[in-house]
Amino acid sequence: MISARDVTKTYEAARPGAPVVQALCGVDLDVAVGESVALMGASGSGKSTLLYLLGGLDTPTSGSIEIAGRKLQEMNDTDLSAFRKTQLGFIFQFFHLLPTLNILENILLPGRLANLPENEMRARALSLLERVGLKGREESYPDTLSGGQQQRVALARALLTKPVLLLADEPTGNLDSANSAAVLALLGELVRENKTTLVVATHSIEAANLTQRIVRLKDGRIESL
């Protein structure tokens, strides 16, 4: 599913005289189809940078990334956007639900952006709402939900288009321990049911234990696979 080779990411100095930041230094990573992997490391280790590069949300300074047989560096912006819409799912720490859309509309958004069949997407969205325990809340708005409920909506949204790869950046970082446990259990169930490849960047050992393999990063390099 994922083949990353000699990936580097350098950020230019924020001001004259400030040092250049080398966020990733020659990273190689392979992830098999259906495998679940946790990226772990201290703040600044490069795990979130790597996750964003894998999702095509940023571009490496050098090196190559191939996802599901597609080389990200060979895609133009239009192709990359279409690839993200249909093949990738994203879960973020701060949910990123649109406050002006109700819960059902938030979940349907990826399908609508990708111009997928409305009836099919609506049926899947309602099924996912039931799976995440929010059946009957279709017309509620994000600000009426708890943090744990909002993250469950974000999980349903990420899985709407049946992505081949799900990327999660600190998915429980904004939740208390009880909600974290519930969201992690649900994430694990849905990933297994959908046979989705999962890569999660996390500080949480509980989240990491959800996965089959832990990749540890330190100072922009992979310390252990």
70-71 and 62-67 as β-strands: parallel, antiparallel, unpaired? antiparallel
Q: Looking at the whole model, is its pTM more than 0.85? A: yes
| Residue positions counted in the chain | 225
What's the CA gap between 214 and 190, in Å, rounded?
Answer: 20
Residue-level pLDDT at 53: 96
Q: List, as one string, the DSSP characters of 82-139.
A: HHHHHHEEEE-TT----TTS-HHHHHHHHHHHTT--HHHHHHHHHHHHHHTT-TT-TT
Residue-level pLDDT at 72: 95
Q: Where are the domains of the chain?
A: 2-224
Strand partners, 11: 21
Domain spanning 2-224: CATH superfamily: P-loop containing nucleotide triphosphate hydrolases (3.40.50.300)
Residue-level pLDDT at 37: 95
CA 5, distance to chain mean position in Å, is 20
Spans in the chain with pLDDT lower than 50: none
What's the CA gap between 83 and 72, in Å, rounded?
Answer: 9
